[in-house]
């Protein structure tokens, strides 16, 4: 959806909000002009990172690895001069003030000492959490556990062969002997069975003597991590409360309000008042500048949820910015015939992204009985609700709204937000336990179809690359032969579609982002799935071209084999 602004520039997004005092709707566009200015800033950030990579001792480092939102505002002074203001969200490399950048909203200086102390404490906690997550006992436990599991299985298999031999011999003895001779022979067979049981018990005892001390160390580390996370949460909450009371915002009508006055109900989310848009608008209002257009974009590592990608433009975030927009824009002359706020909020949050458009579609229920419900989840819709207000829309929440809160549903597995396909739910806990056990025992068969962003020469094969999620680089996964968990994928080339390859994936394990990493890694297929911006696909496309098209499992009640299949939407 493209709109035209008052000066006939193309508008890709509107920042807007209803003033909490007057009830009027105010808007500010994101135009092609401001997007071009923002891209110039992206180039500067890239150059600064390349420069500081060579000169690591620089005190004004712009870390290209630190993912965050940046913003630019095109404004006009009282004498008609056009100015470009730029801002970053939160802190940049631990600093709130940097030359050439908009300073924080007034009031932060009142809590500067407390902020410095808290940030130092948080940094120490972060480092300790990293060290606890990487204690050598974790890797040693995982390796030894796998070794003992393999050895125990070998022992069980050998004993199973011996057991079958004893059963055959027992039948022969019963047919050939009677009385005392038979009794002694059967007793000898029973003795062999008892000795094998003793061997397995001794093996488990020896295993536990090795593994339990390691497990105790790991449990102690996990317990300490939970305590540290609680401390971190409390420190952050205390600091944020102090900031919210101190922050004072100014709008274009000359009115000033603290964050606490503007948000009177409920707890304010962490970081409110530290985003780019409030910083830019507050600064412009305080310096008698008329805002003309504004743009915000993400730069650096992907966000923790994986949905903010370097170089992409984003609108006002639902939790932190949108509640402030109405007040901040008050007093600014808005374009005539404004759109309704309700329609705008639905239609073009996040740059009218395709994901939002797709997420507004209804999904199809493809199987339903007293035990199981299966749907065709569209790309762009979460499987289950997230933590924050802007991630509550999901397949599960929509089903509950449709079927009623009294209708119980339990997600059996999940699909990535950008992945479409078959998604399974249970109507009761017994069904959930049964299907979960089938997943754990690898009895559920899944088939995906994908378009790869290049020409694949290999026709078929197996990719065996262990995956590990670096806690410092979430949500990305990476191949790691020391820390990674076993991850195996079968693939088959179906054909070509222009310069792309259509591939069928059969995951034999179920790791996070398994197909996406096995596809992009040079030791796998060496090319990302089409539309996978998180793993480096630069092709402009409307979605991640990955679809869960088939699912086969045994019905928990009837034990009949259920085979679900849906068409591929690309």
Which amino acids are annotated catalytic? 416
Residues making up the chain, counted from first to last: 570
Q: Locate 133 and state its tokens.
A: 């997550």
Q: Which helix (H) or strand (E) holds 35?
A: helix 32-54
Residue carrying the six token digits 């870390």: 63
Question: Phi and psi dihedrals of 396, rounded to 5?
Answer: -65, -45
Burial 123-141 (b: 16+ CB within 10 A, else e): eebeeebeebeeeeebeeb
What own/partner pairs with CB < 8 Å and gap ≥ 24 does 533-541 have? Answer: 533/309, 533/312, 534/302, 534/306, 534/309, 534/475, 534/476, 535/476, 537/453, 539/453
Within 10 angstroms of residue 529's Cβ, the number of other Cβ atoms is 27
Could you give the CA distance from residue 395 to residue 372 in angstroms, rounded to a whole number? 15
Q: Coil, strand, or helix at residue 164? A: helix
- 380, 356 in Cβ contact below 8 A? yes
Rounded to 5 degrees, what angle do the CA atoms 550, 556, 557 make? 125
Residue 410 CA to residue 430 CA, distance in Å, equals: 11
Distance CA 283, CA 44 (A): 22
User: What DSSP state is assigned to residue 399?
Assistant: H
| 111 vs 185: CA distance, rounded Å | 86
Ramachandran angles phi, psi of 29, nearest 5° = -85, 160
Name the residue with tokens 């509950």: 400
Dist CA 182 CA 162 (whole Å): 20
> And the tokens for 94?
């631990």
């Amino acid at each position: 959806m493209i709109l035209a602004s008052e000066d006939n520039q193309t508008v890709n997004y509107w920042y807007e909000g209803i003033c909490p005092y007057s009830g009027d709707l105010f808007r500010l566009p994101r135009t092609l002009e401001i997007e071009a200015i923002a891209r110039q800033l992206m180039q500067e950030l890239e150059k600064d990172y390349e420069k500081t990579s060579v000169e690591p001792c620089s005190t004004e480092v712009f870390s290209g690895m630190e993912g965050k939102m940046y913003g630019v505002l095109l404004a006009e002074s009282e004498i008609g001069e056009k100015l470009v203001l730029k801002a970053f969200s939160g802190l940049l490399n631990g600093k709130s003030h940097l030359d050439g950048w908009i300073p924080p909203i007034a009031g932060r200086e009142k809590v500067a000492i407390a902020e410095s102390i808290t940030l130092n404490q948080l940094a120490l906690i972060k480092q300790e959490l990293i060290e606890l997550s990487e204690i050598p006992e974790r890797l040693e436990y995982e390796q030894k556990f796998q070794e003992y599991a393999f050895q125990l299985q070998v022992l069980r298999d050998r004993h199973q062969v011996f057991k079958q031999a004893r059963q055959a011999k027992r039948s022969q003895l019963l047919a050939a002997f009677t009385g005392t001779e038979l009794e002694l022979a059967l007793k000898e067979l029973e003795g062999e069975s008892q000795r094998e049981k003793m061997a397995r018990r001794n093996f488990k005892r020896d295993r536990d003597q090795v593994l339990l001390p390691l497990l105790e160390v790991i449990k102690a580390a996990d317990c300490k991590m939970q305590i540290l996370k609680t401390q971190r949460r409390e420190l952050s909450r205390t600091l944020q409360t102090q900031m919210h009371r101190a922050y004072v915002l100014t709008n274009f009508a000359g009115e000033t309000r603290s964050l606490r006055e503007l948000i009177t109900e409920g707890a304010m989310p962490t970081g409110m008042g530290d985003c780019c848009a409030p910083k830019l608008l507050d600064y412009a209002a305080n310096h008698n500048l008329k805002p003309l257009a504004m743009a915000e974009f993400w730069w650096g590592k992907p966000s923790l949820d994986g949905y903010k990608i370097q170089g992409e433009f984003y609108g006002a975030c639902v939790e932190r910015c949108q509640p402030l927009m109405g007040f901040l824009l008050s007093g600014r002359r808005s374009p005539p015939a404004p759109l309704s706020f309700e329609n705008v909020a639905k239609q073009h949050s996040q740059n009218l992204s395709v994901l939002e458009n797709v997420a507004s579609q209804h999904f199809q229920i493809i199987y339903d009985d007293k035990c199981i419900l299966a749907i065709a989840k569209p790309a762009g819709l979460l499987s289950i609700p997230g933590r924050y207000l802007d991630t509550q829309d999901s397949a599960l929440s929509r089903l509950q709204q449709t079927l009623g809160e009294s209708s119980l549903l339990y997600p059996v597995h999940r699909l990535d937000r950008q992945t479409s396909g078959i998604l399974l739910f249970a109507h009761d806990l017994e069904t959930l336990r049964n299907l979960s056990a089938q997943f754990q025992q690898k009895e559920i068969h899944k088939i995906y179809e994908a378009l790869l962003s290049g020409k694949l020469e290999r026709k078929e094969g197996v990719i065996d690359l262990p995956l590990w999620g670096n806690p410092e680089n979430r949500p990305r996964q990476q191949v790691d032969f020391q820390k990674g968990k076993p991850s195996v994928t079968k693939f088959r080339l179906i054909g070509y579609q222009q310069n792309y390859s259509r591939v069928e994936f059969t995951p034999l394990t179920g790791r996070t982002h398994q197909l996406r990493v096995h596809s992009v890694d040079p030791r796998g297929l060496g090319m990302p799935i089409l539309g996978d911006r998180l793993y480096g696909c630069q092709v402009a496309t409307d979605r991640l071209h990955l679809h869960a098209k088939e699912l086969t499992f045994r019905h928990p009640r009837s034990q009949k084999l259920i085979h679900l299949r849906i068409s591929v939407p690309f």
